[in-house]
A and B are shown apart, each in its own frame.
Chain A
Amino acid sequence: MPSVPRQDDYDSFDPSRAIVIDNGAYSCRVGWAGEFEPRMRFRNVLHRPRLKASGNVINIVGDYDPALSRFLDFTRSSYRSAFDTNVVYQFETMECVFDYVFNRLGVDSNTIEHPVLLTECPCNPLYSRSKMAELLFETYGVPSLGLGIDGVFSYLHNKRLGRCGADGLVVCSGFTTTHSIPIYHGEPILEACCRVNVGGYHVTDYLRRLLCLEYPYHVASLSWDKVESLKFEHGYIAEDYSMELKLFQEGDKLAEEKLRYWQLPWVPPPVEEKPSEEELARKAAIKEKQSQRLRDMAAAKRSYKIADLEAEIQGLEQLLDDLDNVEEADVDSILTGSGYSSRREIEAALSKSSISLKKAKGEFVKIEKEPEKELDPEKYPLLDVPNEMLTPEQLKEKKKQLFLKSTAEGRIRARLKRQEEESLREQEHNLEEDKRLANPEQYLEDLRARQAELAAKIDQRKKQKLAAGSTGSVGRSERLSAAQKERMKLLTTAAFDRGKEDTFGQRDEDWQLYKKIGKDDDDDEADEDEMELSRLNARLQVI
């Protein structure tokens, strides 16, 4: 909508000429009575942006050049309208709009000498009408005010032009409402007037919802204003809606002519340029340089490490030499000076360092498994000494040695057990083999019998499980196996014993309870059976 610069012919009008303000919910049109076109028309809204420079709020009525929005901060408030549906209710906003109207119209004098003709909706509530009159009379001091219905004015104008007769029907579709007003003998019959709360706003909103649903990726670009401009640009009123629909459904030539293609403003994505040969080479060079630097760093680190290890080894060898050469009495002092507690330790450290040196140099090191260390009493010298003869520090040391010894012993025991089990299994196997060789048929029969027995057992267990699962109505106790029942019983007794004095754990037998509870032999048994069965099956197959 083009906005008009400030009019400069205000003074040329006779005071009897009325100022006409068509105060619509969507747009406001202002002009002089008797002229064919309004002097200005603008969106009947007020923007209250902040100036980015000073932070002051300013009033902007109507539309503004989008280029100016770089100075303005619109984030705090959206635009506001003086209208609720089609009735003016916000008279502060209305006053801003009237300020703009009279200022643009070129009023420079101290008073407005012209009568004002203002449009309003049919059957405007009295409260709104009185507030409007109050505003125009008291604030602007207009000499007189006329109020009327825009649709009726339009009818009268068209009647004068001979387009319609004395009787007719006005259908006036506005921004939020549509009225139908019958005219009889040139007079509107308000008793028969009808309002439907549907207007251009709803059309735009519906179009926007349709478009958003159809193109969910463009919801952000389908702003209200954009859709509205689309509607104004491409929308038309069908004279016969169903005929028009058929036209499009059949898709003939006429429909194709009416079809509109519209493209959203397209922002080209940043084009990724293919890197040139030069650039690729440069990048490769940089990469090579970086990896070279990393390699250098690694090499330097390695050489440092090797040097360190060599020095350490040398030192240790020196130490050993010293130990060889000195008297027995001086050994202790040398040892304390070096930080090692025994010759053995030094040797161990030496071998360790030499291995790491070899590793660092990249030589292949065969890591020998440490020979089985038998428990040598030498390693735990403090254990045999009675406690009374030791200092607290040595006591601590003794404890540590005790711990080490017990773990070492445990390891050995476990190994022995493993070996024993293995030999037992071997024996069993041999026995079976003997049996088989002695009487193959008998053996086979035995095997089969056992297999059948096991299979039956497993089957039965499975059935039991299934039956328990399927009979949902049976109580919990029926669903549990004997072992589980036992466990529940123990748990409940334990729970009820709570009230008594808690002596649990004082006797060793108490702890047996956990074994009883924890025992879930049912499943274990099943597992064992299954394993045995699979073993037998395998064996049978082999034979």
Chain B
Amino acid sequence: MSLCGTTSGSTFRGSKRSLEKGSPLAGNEVALPPMQELEDAGILLPASLPFKRIQLSEKYPKGQARGRHWKHLKQMLQAETYHLYPADEPNYMNIEAPPSMYPAKKYCDITGFEAPYKDPKTKLQYANTDIFKQIRALPNESVQQYLSLRNAQVVLK
């Protein structure tokens, strides 16, 4: 991505200021203070914006605890009292699709191809005999890693 400074064709280093000064360091990174360069890049916003009724700094004064608690989605949903509404009224909770009723399609854990076979030892699904050989050569650790890709790994509790 690029920022305002770059899109206009000029690089940050060759900004007008240092060129005006005719400093021998023009074009050198040291010539510009970092703040100036950041401002030129256009990613810094002024501390107070005229169109705002309350400035950010007034709302969230510096020095006060930043960790203002915002309700997470879960807490929001708990506070929504959806159970009081009629059941056929759509809401965030009940538009979520239920788990699929269809059996999961089986894909090879190594190649991603369709897997007609499953190794009873490692429980890995595989597409053909070459991959079966490969599976049997795998250490248990990577077998578990492959299984964990489809949430089928052995979890010890």
Contacts and interface: CB of A to CB of B under 8 A. Distances in A.
Contact of B149 (A125, A140, A213): A213
Given A6-B42, A110-B51, A139-B53, 8 more contacts: A3-B1, A65-B12, A92-B60, A99-B56, A107-B50, A138-B53, A193-B95, A209-B149
Given A1-B1, A5-B8, A124 B92 contact: yes
A26 interface: no
Interface string A178-209: 01000000000011011111000000001001
Interface in B1-58: 1-8, 12, 33-35, 37-38, 41-46, 49-54, 56
Contacts of B71: 89, 127
B79 interface: yes
A90 B59 contact: no
Interface in B66-117: 68, 70-73, 76-77, 79-80, 88-92, 95-97, 111-114
A219 B12 CA distance: 33
Given A2-B1, A64-B41, A99-B56, A140 B73 contact: no
B28 to A, nearest CB: 14
A60 interface: yes
B51 A58 contact: no
Contacts of A54: 35
A249 B127 contact: yes
B146 interface: yes
A227 interface: no
Interface residues of A, number: 69
Contact of A89 (B45, B70, B97, B111): B70
Given A64-B41, A245-B112, A249-B113, A87 B51 contact: no
A511 interface: no
B145 interface: yes
Contacts of A242: 114
A190 to B, nearest CB: 4
B80 A5 contact: no
B110 to A, nearest CB: 9
A96 to B, nearest CB: 7
Contact of B72 (A64, A89, A123, A245): A89
28 contacts: A2-B2, A6-B4, A51-B38, A65-B5, A65-B6, A68-B3, A87-B76, A95-B59, A99-B49, A107-B50, A107-B51, A123-B90, A125-B73, A125-B77, A125-B80, A126-B80, A127-B79, A138-B54, A139-B59, A140-B53, A179-B95, A191-B89, A193-B95, A195-B95, A195-B97, A246-B114, A248-B113, A249-B111
B91 A53 contact: no
Contacts of B129: none
A191 B90 contact: yes
A368 B71 CA distance: 95
Interface centre among B73, B89, B91, B142 (most CB of A within 10 A): B73
Contact of B1 (A60, A63, A249): A63
A53 B33 contact: yes
A210 B90 contact: no
Contacts of A110: 50-51
B92 A87 contact: yes
B95 A122 contact: yes
A462 to B, nearest CB: 42
A493 interface: no
Nearest to B91: A123
Nearest to B55: A139
Interface in A1-43: 1-6
A96 B56 contact: yes
Contacts of A108: 50-51
B3 A64 contact: yes
A84 interface: yes
A194 B95 contact: yes
A84 B77 contact: no
Interface in A95-129: 95-96, 99-100, 102-103, 107-112, 121-128
Contacts of A85: 73
A5 to B, nearest CB: 4
Contacts of B44: 58, 60
A128 B70 CA distance: 10
A229 to B, nearest CB: 11
A68 B38 contact: yes
A351 interface: no
B114 A245 contact: yes
Contacts of B59: 92, 95, 139
A438 to B, nearest CB: 74
A50 to B, nearest CB: 12
A65 B114 contact: no
Given A100-B45, A103-B45, A195-B97, A213 B3 contact: no
Contact of B50 (A109, A196, A210, A213): A109
A89 B4 CA distance: 30
A112 B51 CA distance: 6
Interface string A157-186: 000000000000000000000010000000
A534 interface: no
Interface string B122-150: 00000100000000000000100110010
A139 B146 contact: no
A267 interface: no
A58 B38 CA distance: 10
A91 interface: yes
A70 to B, nearest CB: 8
A469 interface: no
Leading 8 A-B pairs by shortest Cβ distance: A71-B34, A5-B4, A84-B73, A63-B1, A190-B90, A123-B92, A194-B97, A125-B76
A485 interface: no
Contact of A71 (B38, B42, B53): B38
Contact of A92 (B4, B70, B72): B70
A246 B8 CA distance: 48
